[in-house]
């Protein structure tokens, strides 16, 4: 491990411990859980000092790789995603966006800030939206292997049909980071929509599970995300060979992975909310949301 990687590992661990103490003792958020049962911090508004965290990380010249997939008509979401990201996402950091699309000619030109760039990679068209989601893990695995080893320090994998409305910054950095699903963050565990068929590699039995994680946002170090994507891709392939498709495709396998490999940091639903026009008492700020859409119009199949 290189000196920079060692420093990042050390400072991330130290900061997470500080954040754990701050969340559990000083944050004043009694309306939500701010620490998991395995002592990982859960990031909510009011549980971190943005000036402190930026001062810790910005001097290290970090690069955040960020991937999105826009196949078919989903290219219509790219402009808002990128423009809002340039306003709110890791401001002051190096960011390299990787956009996978089957229609590179439809990608709009968006002005990037200093030390921020976009790479468009063409991929094949697919006829089912389910296949599009399941294909992402392999593409992410190969991107990390072939292009990112010397070009990024962290990676986040985000859905493109989304928009930023407020800060998403260094408070989200960690070795393995999951986002609590906005529809299931305040419901009993027995209502989580895990894959319940034992035949699938994504199977989670009733009575097990910690949180239900959103498939539209996850991240961490290159090493950890590579292991995540490789494992999920292998499990998806095993399911396909056995003619079974998990109920929520890659999201189901992501939830199984996080059950067995606990994230070191969880982001609250502020970081993947349902819709800017939807409110909940626990949500003090909306940072990143899905955008309203007619799925029949943008998806290649129902």
Decide if 153 contacts 239 (C-beta within 8 A): no
Interatomic CA distance for residues 275 and 75, integer angstroms: 19
Active site annotation includes 251: yes
Q: What is the residue whose two structure tokens read 């940091």?
A: 265
Q: What is the distance in angstroms between the CA of the first residue and the CA of the last residue of the chain?
A: 46
Interatomic CA distance for residues 28 and 70, integer angstroms: 40
Q: Which residues contact 141 (CB under 8 A, 6 or more apart)?
A: 226, 229, 230, 233
Distances 85 to 48, 93, 109, 174 between C-alpha atoms, Å:
21, 12, 14, 20
Closest CA relative to residue 288, chosen from 296, 300, 276: 276
Q: Tokens representing 92?
A: 């002051």
Q: Is 232 helix (H, G, I), strand (E, B) or coil?
A: helix
User: Which one is catalytic: 195, 245, 251, 270?
Assistant: 251
Q: Tokens representing 190?
A: 């027995």
Q: Is 17 helix (H, G, I), strand (E, B) or coil?
A: helix
Q: Is 58 helix (H, G, I), strand (E, B) or coil?
A: helix
Which amino acids are annotated catalytic? 251
């Amino acid at each position: 491990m290189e000196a920079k990687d060692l420093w990042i590992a050390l400072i991330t661990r130290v900061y997470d411990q500080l954040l754990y103490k701050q969340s559990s003792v000083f944050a004043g958020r009694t309306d939500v859980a701010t620490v998991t049962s395995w002592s990982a911090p859960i990031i909510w508004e009011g549980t971190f000092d943005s000036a402190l965290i930026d001062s810790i990380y910005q001097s290290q010249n970090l690069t955040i790789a960020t991937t999105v997939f826009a196949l078919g008509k989903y290219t219509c979401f790219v402009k808002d995603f990128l423009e809002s990201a340039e306003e709110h996402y890791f401001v002051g950091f190096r960011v390299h966006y990787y956009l996978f699309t089957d229609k590179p000619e439809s990608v709009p030109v968006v002005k990037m800030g200093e030390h921020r760039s976009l790479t468009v990679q063409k991929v094949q068209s697919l006829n089912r939206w389910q296949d599009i989601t399941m294909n992402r893990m392999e593409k992410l695995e190969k991107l990390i292997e072939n292009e990112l080893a010397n070009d990024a320090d962290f990676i986040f994998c985000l859905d493109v049909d989304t928009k930023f409305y407020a800060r998403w910054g260094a408070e989200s950095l960690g070795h393995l980071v999951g986002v609590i699903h906005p529809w299931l963050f305040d419901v009993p565990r027995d209502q989580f929509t895990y894959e319940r068929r034992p035949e699938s590699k994504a199977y989670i039995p009733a009575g097990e599970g910690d949180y239900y994680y959103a498939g539209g946002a996850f991240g961490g170090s290159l090493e950890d995300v590579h292991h995540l994507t490789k494992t999920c891709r292998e499990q998806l392939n095993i399911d396909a060979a056995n003619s079974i498709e998990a109920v929520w495709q890659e999201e189901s396998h992501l939830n199984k992975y996080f059950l067995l490999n606990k994230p070191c940091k969880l982001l609250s639903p502020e970081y993947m909310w349902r819709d800017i026009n939807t409110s909940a008492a626990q949500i003090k700020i909306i940072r990143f949301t899905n955008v309203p859409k007619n799925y029949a119009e943008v998806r290649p199949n129902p």
